[in-house]
A and B are shown apart, each in its own frame.
Chain A
Amino acid sequence: MNGRPGTIRSLLALGLLALLWPSPLRHLLERDMAVHMIVQLPLLACGGFLLGSALRAHEPRWLAEADWLGLPGLLLVIFTTSFWMLPRMLDAALADPAIDGVKFLSVASFAGLPLALSWRRMPALGRAFLWANFIPKLGAIGGLYLAAPIRLCAYYRLDQQAAAGWTLIAVAVALAMAWFVIAFVGVPMSQAPAQSCRAGNEAA
């Protein structure tokens, strides 16, 4: 189905994942709690997403059939992202490069990749349900970070935690607005995305 675009996309994905690994960049992206959660983790998922959309044509039939409405795949995405957002796991990834390696591989292959395959199988109502759950939850976690009087991560200061809280709230508000616009105003066809990850995942 997609020969060349698929190859380009998988190269892009592997390039992105390879770029995120070398330690100076990794340390830069993990030094701050907000950047770790809102830049590094989504970028890793993005890499997996690109890879997934490139491999879509080669997906085995049994998998496409067993992943009914995309339910198992999207559950896998939810489990994986919840796991790596546990404050304890953010700490563990910083303390041990081996655990960080597991994070890289699993966020790409168990969050980004299944999102690319399963999201398009989920009916519109199910997608709306997922967005409607995801966005307030993001804001609520942000609020919790702001309200917590103690540090949740041993590797991050209290002011970094508060900054992560504000950033999560900002992202939640931005997503809610974007969703509202897309749902009630619509996306002009000329902008039909595929290049950027987020746009790709909404349009898929």
Chain B
Amino acid sequence: MKAGFPVLLTLVLSSGAAALAYGTEGFHAVTSEGARALAVERTPRPVPDVALTDQDGRAFSLGDYRGGAVLVDFIYTRCPTICTANGGDFERVLARLERRQARGRIDLVSISFDPQNDDREALKRYGNRFGAQAPRWRIAAPVDGRGLAALLKTFGVVVIPDGFGGFVHNAAVYAVDAHGRLVRILDPDATEQIMAAAEQAATP
């Protein structure tokens, strides 16, 4: 054993530990899902003002919701499984919103990442299935592919083919606050947490 050994060992241990800490957001997350939720909570990110059209053919953008909170999810209307579940999750949130007394607006937007198939008719059908009505709950599609790409990037949504002509994607509910910043990424099943995050995001 030579004098170089402790130096080399310390170098390897410290750089290895630093790399692992970096890769796991300080040993808190091993998946990209967990990491992006943490990253957003620590540093909220401004949401891009992408041009969208809703189920009634009206043009709007997420920037229009400033001053109140908006809960966002990503869907495609042909989805047989998770988006249907997601629709149900927003349906439950909607029921809670209708009984809500507190001040500060909270609205819902479901954005399709499959604008090729999701025309206005398809968005309308999806909305009707869950009792979604604009402006409280808009079912929307981005006007162009660039806008869609910008949204997916900011929200950290990854869409991959499911091998059967549909898609698999990371499902979550995204809370955007009164300043137009993405502040929380939540489990779609956790209605209580979604409501709490929305109330907090609605307070300017």
Contacts and interface: CB of A to CB of B under 8 A. Distances in A.
B31 A153 contact: yes
Contact of A87 (B13, B30, B158, B163): B30
B40 interface: no
B170 A79 contact: no
Interface stretch (A22-30, A59-67, A124-132, A190-198): A59-67
Interface of B: 1-2, 4-5, 7-9, 11-13, 15-17, 19-20, 23-24, 29-35, 158, 160, 162-163, 168, 170
A201 to B, nearest CB: 19
Interface of A: 62-63, 65-68, 71-73, 75-76, 78-80, 82-83, 86-89, 91-92, 95, 151-158
Contacts of B20: 79, 82-83
A65 B4 CA distance: 7
Chain A facing B: main interface SS: helix
Contacts of A79: 12, 15-17, 19-20
B23 A86 contact: yes
A20 to B, nearest CB: 22
A95 B7 CA distance: 36
Contact of B9 (A75, A91, A157): A75
Contact of B32 (A68, A80, A87): A87
18 contacts: A65-B2, A65-B4, A65-B5, A66-B2, A67-B5, A71-B9, A72-B8, A72-B12, A79-B12, A79-B19, A79-B20, A83-B16, A86-B24, A88-B24, A152-B31, A154-B31, A154-B33, A154-B160
